[in-house]
Amino acid sequence: MKTELSSEARVAIVGAGMAGARCGARLREAGMAVWVVDKARGPGGRLATRRARFVDAQGEERAVAWDHGCPGFEAQDARLQAWLHTQAALGRATLWQPQPGPNEGPATAPPPARWRGTASQPSLCHALLEGAATQWQTTVQALRRDGAAWWLDTNGTSLGPFSAVVLALPPAQAAPLLAPHRLDWARAAALVPMQPCWTWMGVSQAQAAWGDGDWWAPADGPLELVVRQTHRLDGPSAQGLDAWVAHARPGWSREQLESPPEAVAEALQAAVARVLGHPVVWQHSLVHRWRYAQPVLPPAERWGGARWDAHARLGQCGDFLAGHGVDAAWRSGEAVAERIVSQALEPLPPSGRAAGARTERAPLRTP
Ligand SMILES: Cc1cc2nc3c(=O)[nH]c(=O)nc-3n(C[C@H](O)[C@H](O)[C@H](O)COP(=O)(O)OP(=O)(O)OC[C@H]3O[C@@H](n4cnc5c(N)ncnc54)[C@H](O)[C@@H]3O)c2cc1C
C-alpha cells in the first residue's frame, strides 16, 4: 500500500553504496525526503573506480582509472535487471561479456556476463541518487535520539533532525553505531565475518598477445582474478597501454593483511606476470586493501534481507543481510525502503525539531 508521506518525514541514510543508494531511490519514488551521508568523496562504496595520473616511459603524463572494487556484477533480481536495461538505454550501464585470456586454455568457457557503470562503477549509484540531498566526506560517529528525532553525530557536528535512520554500512562499521540502540543487531553485525581483499592495479604496455582476453581466473597462487580494464583508459591515455586489476584470494589477503603495501605490491605484481604468462613492461602500479570486501557466507535471509524497527524508526541494510554481492545490496536497500514506505512515518512533532529547523540542503545543527 502506498502511503502519503510528509516531506518533513526525512530519512537519513548513512552509506551510499548500492544498498543505501537503492534505499534512497525507492523512498524518493514514494515521495519521501532523504538525506544521504557517506564518509567517502561520493557514492559507490565497494562499487568503486580509482583514478590516477602517472608519467609513462616516454615522459608523457597519462591518466588511468581502474574498477578496483567490484569489477562487474550479475543481476538476478528482476527489478535490478529492468533498471539496468533502462540505464543501458541511457548509456549509463554496460553489459560486459568477459573473455578468458588466451592462455587460460581453449576449453575455458566464458564466465557469465556482468554489469558495470559505463562512465565508472559509482556512476550507477550516482544515477540512483540523482536529485537526492547528499553529503560526502562525512563520517557518522554516533546515532543519537532526542525525543522523536534522530541526530547523526559527525566530527563535532550534529546532523538532523530526522524522522528515521537507515544504516547501509558493512557490518563491522554498523555495529558500534547500532550498539546504544539495538544491542541485538549490533551483536549480530559484529559476528558477520567479512573477507578482506588486497587489490593490485597496474598499467602495462599493450600487447597483441592478450587478444580479446580480459579475464583470468587462476586455479592456484595468491590471485583469484586478473581483469584487463583497458576500457577505463580514454583519450590519449588509451594509446598503447593496458590497465589491469588483480584481486588476491581471501586467505592470502588475510595472511598479508598487515604487511607493508610495498611488499604486497611486489608479490602481487609478480603473481600477475605469472598468470599472464608473458613478460610484461609495467608503467605504473599501486595496491588497495579492502578490509571488508565480501561476506564469507551468504546468511539466511532471517530479516527479509533487511532490518526495520518500526518503533525506533531505525533500519539496517547491506549486501550481508540479503546474501552476496551487488544484487544482494540492491535487494536489501529495497527491502528496508518497502518497510518504511508501508509504515506511515509521521512528521516530527515540534518537540522533536530543533529551533528553526529547515528542510533544505543544510540541516546541520546542534539540538
Ligand atoms: C574486491 C571486490 C570484488 C567484488 N566482486 C564482486 C563481484 O564480482 N560481484 C558482486 O556482485 N559483488 C562483488 N563485490 C561486492 C560488492 O561490491 C558489494 O557486495 C556491494 O557493492 C556492497 O554494497 P553495500 O551498499 O552493501 O556496501 P558498500 O558498498 O560497502 O557501501 C557502504 C558505504 O558506507 C560508507 N560508510 C562506512 N562507514 C561509514 C560511516 N561511519 N559514516 C558514513 N559512511 C560510512 C562507505 O564509505 C560506503 O560507501 C566485490 C567487492 C570487492 C571489494
Query: DSSP secondary structure string, 87-150?
Result: HHHTTSEEEE---B-GGG-TTPPPPPPEEEESS-SHHHHHHHTTTSEEE-S----EEEEETTEE
Distance 104 CA to ligand 1 centre (A): 29
Ligand 1 pocket residue status of 322, Cβ below 6 Å: no
Ligand 1 pocket residue status of 294, Cβ below 6 Å: yes
Ligand 1 pocket residue status of 199, Cβ below 6 Å: yes
Specify the residue with its C-alpha closest to ligand 1, atom 44.
38
Other CB atoms within 10 Å distance of the CB of residue 97: 13
Q: What is the DSSP letter of 2?
A: -
- Mean pLDDT along residues 106-113: 80
Q: Where are the beta strands (DSSP E) in 168-281?
A: 194-205, 215-216, 223-228, 241-248
Ligand 1 pocket residue status of 20, Cβ below 6 Å: yes
pLDDT in tens, 116-168: 999 999 999 999 999 999 999 999 999 999 988 999 999 878 999 999 999 99
C-alpha to C-alpha distance for 334 and 305, rounded to whole angstroms: 9
Tell me the pLDDT band of 240, cut-offs 50, 70 and 90: confident
Specify the residue with its C-alpha closest to ligand 1, atom 51.
70
Parts of the chain belonging to CATH 3.90.660.10: 50-119+194-295
Q: Which three cell numbers stand for residue 90?
A: 541511457
On whether the CB atoms of residues 243 and 230 are closer than 8 A, the answer is yes
Of all residues in the chain, the percent with pLDDT exceeding 90 is 71
Third-level CATH fold of 50-119+194-295: Polyamine Oxidase; Chain A, domain 2 (3.90.660)
Res 7: pLDDT: 43
Q: What is the position in ligand 1's atom list of the atom closest to the CA of 43?
A: 49
Chain centroid, CA 203 distance in Å: 24
Class of CATH domain 11-43+129-192+297-352: alpha beta
Cα 74 to Cα 84, 94, 349: the distances in Å are: 11, 12, 44
Parts of the chain belonging to CATH 3.50.50.60: 11-43+129-192+297-352
Tell me the pLDDT band of 8, cut-offs 50, 70 and 90: low
Residue 167 carries which side chain, given as an amino acid letter? L
pLDDT in tens, 187-199: 999 998 899 999 9
For 299-324, b where at least 16 C-beta lie within 10 A, e where not — what string? Answer: beeebebbbbeeeebbbbbbbbbbbe
CA angle, 184 then 186 then 188, to 5° = 70
Mutate which of 46, 68, 192, 287 for ligand 1 pocket (most atoms within 8 A of beta carbon): 46
Specify the residue with its C-alpha closest to ligand 1, atom 5.
70
Res 366: pLDDT: 35
Mutate which of 39, 70, 224, 225 for ligand 1 pocket (most atoms within 8 A of beta carbon): 70
Distance 204 CA to ligand 1 centre (A): 28
Mutate which of 292, 294, 317, 330 for ligand 1 pocket (most atoms within 8 A of beta carbon): 294
Ligand 1 pocket residue status of 39, Cβ below 6 Å: yes
Cα 23 to Cα 67, 151, 340: the distances in Å are: 23, 19, 10
Please tell me the least confidently modeled range out of 44-58, 206-220, 284-298, 345-359. Answer: 345-359
Please tell me the least confidently modeled range out of 58-67, 135-144, 268-277, 343-352. Answer: 343-352
User: What φ, ψ does residue 64 adopt, rounded to 5°?
Assistant: -140, 150
Ligand 1 pocket residue status of 227, Cβ below 6 Å: no
Ligand 1 pocket residue status of 18, Cβ below 6 Å: yes
Q: What is the position in ligand 1's atom list of the atom closest to the CA of 46?
A: 29
Given a cut of 50, is residue 365 above it in pLDDT? no
